[in-house]
């Protein structure tokens, strides 16, 4: 591998300023943008919910039972504000993100905390912030892809430049 090759990282599109969130706005995080630019990452924007074919804007979605790992195991429930179970869409989005990771040989993701797709350490369940992970995060972790939240930029410095693109 070329030691000068830039590191690839998948990033929640909303953190980059794209209007992909359920309510049609972004959660632009300038610290994330600045860090990725300074560290010369090759950024791959992803929005699992849009990749699944869900519209923007779309009904807000929360876990009713379990978290992303539970959804992948068949025991969790993701429900939107219209009381529709949307597990299949969230699984499809996770599979699409995994395919993008494979196509780009990407081993690292930086995702939006508390999202039902992208939550890394916390999610919303029944109106409360609880420990858990989103569906796409759970899927990526199952495939040994490192996932960080926007609050963990300093931890990205610990990634071996040769490891993330294997």
Flag whether 143 is in a domain: yes
Flag whether 71 is in a domain: yes
Query: How many structural domains are present in the chain?
Result: 1
pLDDT, tens digit, for every residue of 113-163?
Answer: 999 999 999 999 998 999 999 999 999 999 999 999 999 999 988 875 444
Flag whether 165 is in a domain: no
Flag whether 147 is in a domain: yes
Asked if 86 contacts 79 with a C-beta cutoff of 8 angstroms, the reply is: yes
Q: 12: domain range? A: 7-156
The pTM (predicted TM-score) of the whole model is 0.92
pLDDT, tens digit, for every residue of 36-58?
Answer: 998 889 999 999 999 999 999 99
């Amino acid at each position: 591998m070329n030691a000068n090759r830039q590191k690839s990282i998948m990033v929640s599109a909303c953190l980059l300023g794209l209007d992909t969130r359920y309510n049609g706005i972004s959660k632009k995080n300038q610290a994330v943008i600045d860090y990725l630019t300074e560290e010369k990452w090759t950024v791959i924007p992803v929005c699992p919910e849009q990749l699944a074919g869900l519209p923007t804007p779309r009904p807000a979605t929360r876990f009713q039972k379990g978290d992303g790992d539970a959804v992948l195991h068949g025991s969790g429930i993701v429900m939107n504000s219209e009381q529709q179970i949307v597990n299949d869409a969230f699984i499809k989005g996770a599979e699409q993100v995994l395919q993008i990771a494979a196509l780009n040989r990407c081993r690292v993701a930086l995702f939006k905390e508390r999202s039902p797709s992208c939550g890394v350490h916390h999610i919303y369940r029944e109106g409360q912030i609880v420990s858990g992970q989103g569906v796409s995060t759970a899927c990526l972790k199952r495939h040994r892809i490192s996932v960080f939240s926007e609050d963990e930029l300093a931890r990205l410095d610990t990634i071996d430049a040769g490891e993330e693109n294997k």
